[in-house]
């Protein structure tokens, strides 16, 4: 069965520290991969996406993610976290067979401390 797993429910990092949010997927076909960010009471904003090509993708707000097919992972990273990055982060996966219905992970809540 197709699935998306975000192993970490909550993550706390200090401002200025590096960040990595994990995402693992289980899909039969070549996946389309996305990271979205959600601020409290808001909709979701697309940070970055991977369809094909270079496995290291750059997104907005200084985020990047790397697609590792051998590990079925698409982890989100940022070298230096800012207090404004505190939010809920969702990994989402689709494919050519079901691309109309992105499968979302349960989310990781990021807390940034001074």
> Could you list the residues that contact other proteins (CB under 8 A)?
4, 9, 32, 36, 41-46, 49, 51, 90, 92, 94, 96, 99-107
Q: What angle do CA 95, 96, 99 make, to 5 degrees?
A: 60
- Structure tokens that stand for 110 in this block: 């990021």
Length of the chain: 114
Task: Please identify, using beta-carbon distances, which residue of 3 and 80 lies nearer to other proteins.
Answer: 3
Task: Please identify, using beta-carbon distances, which residue of 42 and 80 lies nearer to other proteins.
Answer: 42
Q: Round the CA-based radius of gyration of the chain to a whole number and report it.
A: 14
What b-and-e string marks burial along 80-108, b requiring 16 or more CB atoms within 10 Å of the CB? ebeeebbbbbbbbbbbeeeeeebbbbebb
Task: Please identify, using beta-carbon distances, which residue of 15 and 49 lies nearer to other proteins.
Answer: 49
Q: How far is the CB of 55 from other proteins (least distance, A)?
A: 17
Q: How far is the CB of 21 from other proteins (least distance, A)?
A: 14
Q: How far is the CB of 79 from other proteins (least distance, A)?
A: 25
Q: How far is the CB of 98 from other proteins (least distance, A)?
A: 9
């Amino acid at each position: 069965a197709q699935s998306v797993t975000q192993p970490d429910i909550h993550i706390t990092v200090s401002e200025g520290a590096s960040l990595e949010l994990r995402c693992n997927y289980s899909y039969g076909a070549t996946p389309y991969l996305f990271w979205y960010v959600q601020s409290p009471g808001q909709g979701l904003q697309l940070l970055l996406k991977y369809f094909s090509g270079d496995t290291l993708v750059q997104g907005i707000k200084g985020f990047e993610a790397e697609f590792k097919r051998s590990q079925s992972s698409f982890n989100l990273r940022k070298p230096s976290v800012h207090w404004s990055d505190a939010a809920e982060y969702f990994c989402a996966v689709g494919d050519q067979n079901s691309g109309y219905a992105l499968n979302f992970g349960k989310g990781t809540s990021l807390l940034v401390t001074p």
